Structure 1
Amino acid sequence: MSTSESTATAPEEQQPQSQWRPIGEAVGAGDVPVEVIESLCLNCHEQGETRMLLTVIPYFREVIVCSFRCEHCGHTNNEIQSAGEIQPLGAIYTVKCTDRDDLNRQLVKSESCTISIPEYQLTIPAGRGQFTTIEGVLADTIRDLEHDQPLRKIQHPELHEKIQDLVAKLRVIVPNVEAAPGGADDEPTASTSAEATAPMPNFTLKLDDPSGNSFVETRGGLQDPKWSKREYGRDKAQDEALGLKHDEEQDKSTSHYPEEILSFPGVCSLCGSELETLMKKVNIPHFKDIILMSTNCHDCGYRDNEVKSGGAISAKGRKITLKVEDTDDLSRDILKSETAGLTIPEIDLELNPGTLGGRFTTLEGLLQQVYEELDEKVFARGDASERGVTDEMATFLGNLKKAMAVEMPFTVVLDDPLANSYIQNTWAPDPDPNLVEEDYERDHLQNEELGLNDINTENYGHVEVPEGGENASSATAAAAPDAKQEVKPIVQA
């Protein structure tokens, strides 16, 4: 881009003390310094005009808003550039759009940001920076996809049909988008008034920016229940793409033990053959470390999987309550330890601690395991069972199947006295409106069942011997037979 002159629209004597002003104050203000630069138009190769505004976005940082317009051909282009440094960590912003008001959220997309909509398997690769709204991103995507559709219809008919289906789904969300110039297809694309007022399907918008310089507007501050942010460390490829030197020393100092799969020999409990049990330490985000154990006998085919807690015993128990309202809740990760009990009051399902052992799966997978265990292994069918018991079991399994299909809302209660169980919070790190976690003090009976009452955690490796030696110690013990040693239950440090 060639530059021949640069002028400021505001007089020099009226320059504010700071050139970085919030974007809300900058809009409509007459004293905002706007840099005007003559630039080459890449459309007609005449001289156009680029305007640059230095501004600050609330809850974000300084940016440069650039706007180009050519008076000769009418070509326009808008772009946003980050005026700050690359952040130490990358960031992923997630917004759950449930109504059309969410489409008006402002969005900052840097040159390194990738936008994705998982529900439609749509990924918008990194490109030029933009300062727009969610609706603007979807509208630009529709126009870009429709631009070469006539050519795709001839050269790649299958690809044309897939893109046409995707465009039709996006037009339900953003119905009032004009077709791209030169991209009109045989299929009707104009939306009707009925489409404009039709309910908008829910979808999730994700911004993944390794530079950390992208942003999505929040409603009501950082406590917005539809908005979440997660930061992560960049890998070597991401640092190189940003032109940064990757810290090799940090990679060398990082312990690789959590990624290592350990194995130890054992004996199959069915056929007695020798086998190996694999063990791996896994970290569950926003929870703790767990140990996955897998056993597979190559002689008889016996297989078993189990989950063990990888941390200390918690000081309190935990009760987790999840309200299941749609099929998305069935895909939540769930960790049920061997000490946890599971209850679904709506269908009278209650699993005592120890049932199914430790399991790390999804809620749908756990309910499927419960159904298979009851349907295949419970002795309540055939000639040996009473008719009433059989009918009752059939009714129960039918209700369980309805719950697995979410034909009715139900509640899952996971009660673990050791607090080693977990249900995924899809809103993390923000509170989940359908998930409630309650910590409680264990009673004496629970500590007794867990073997915590008789554990001595202090000075258990040291025995004091009186000056008289063993005889004096024996005499002291005989003289005070009722003396009791203070015992404390083990707690998490």
Structure 2
Amino acid sequence: MSSSKEDLKKTSPEEFFKPLDADSNEVTEISSMCTSCFEEGLTKLMLTKIPFFRDVIVSSFECSHCGYKNCELSSAMEISAVGVEYQLQVMDKIDLNRMVVKSDFACVKIPELDLETPSGTQKGEVTTVEGILTRVVTGLRQDQERRKEEHPEIYEQIETYLKRVEDSLALNSRFTLTIRDISGNSFIAGRPGILSIADDSSITSHKFERSKSENEQLGLLDLPPVTEEEEEKGNFKDEVLQMPTNCPECSEPCFTKMKVTDIPFFKEVIIMATDCDKCGCRSNEVKSGGGIEPKGKRMKLRVKSKEDFSRDVLKSETSSIEIPELDLVAGSHVFAGKFTTVEGLLSDIKKNLFEDNPIISGDSVDPEFKNKVQKFCAELDRLLTGEHEFTLILDDPAGNCYIQNVWAPEEDPELDTEEYERTFEQNEEMGLNDMNVGPQEES
């Protein structure tokens, strides 16, 4: 008995509670109390990755005593800095089968059906567009027999509405599905074979700044104002700051290091890097330290020699990438902001499309789509040899993209820079249309 106690003392917490791993697809089983009969049931948990989205925890509960079942989905990632809104035009069967990730804070609307599910009224789930409508039909039909006897008028109204929903399910009429999530953790998948929803004409998405009440709904409180003493101590340009956070892969505690640096002939940027000692995950990101510029910027570099591959490049989080020779157009949200070189940027594009792409591996992969990706990567490898000329275009509505001018302060013959007025939609996405920063007129 004493030896077993000694073994118990030496056992680490990891041996009792095995950490969830999105790559293993293992199911963790936990005994739980049933909320229906208060007997002991079983909860199953699985951490999994959703392609081009993030990690989620899928949980399922089942009670063998009363037969009660329940399933939920929750995000395994932190709350995003901004909210997100998706709008999908449902036109055919493929659109009905699109995967939908809906968090607890998602508000679902279908204007054509006068349907709205407010934020916080349903638990998060992974479903499809068809599944959302089917859940509405199931919920409304639940007490129809009782309503038919007790409230025949309400019964007829619900039956009429159910006919409208079933017509939409049968695609007799097109409709629009809108998901607005203040936590930024909802998602609608693109059509099969499309690399990014930016290339999907049926779906649009944009991010928005949360209001004060929405931050309070998420439990995010405003930070107290900075005092003069703290402001005097806040000159951190010559220091590397560390901020405690959680690893984006294994959720273990780690640190994010931040450093403010000046890019010659450009502006200040904040370089952030995260390194996890537990799983070895490393990530880095670059944020502009100068805010949004008055005009957007479009930079066009003609890469003609191997020397051009060593030019510094700042791809901000709002900048899109184009390479006309490859018919490549990557929207602003496809790749994170980063400070690298031309060669490093091309290598990251290949890594994201081929090496880290979950939809071109496994048994269910579409061979035709995989061949297209492999062919594209082969063309990208051809450019990386430096033997073929190509054009790199960065387009940033916020004006924070940068390609090194090796002739500075003189003009670079191979680099064109153009400033332009942003469109209303671009200002709307960055929250500038509702922002009044000018002097107020006296009444």
Where on the TM-score scale, by shorter chain, does this alignment land: which range?
Answer: 0.3 to 0.5
- TM-score if structure 2 supplies the norm length? 0.45
Larger Rg belongs to: 1
- TM-score if structure 1 supplies the norm length? 0.40
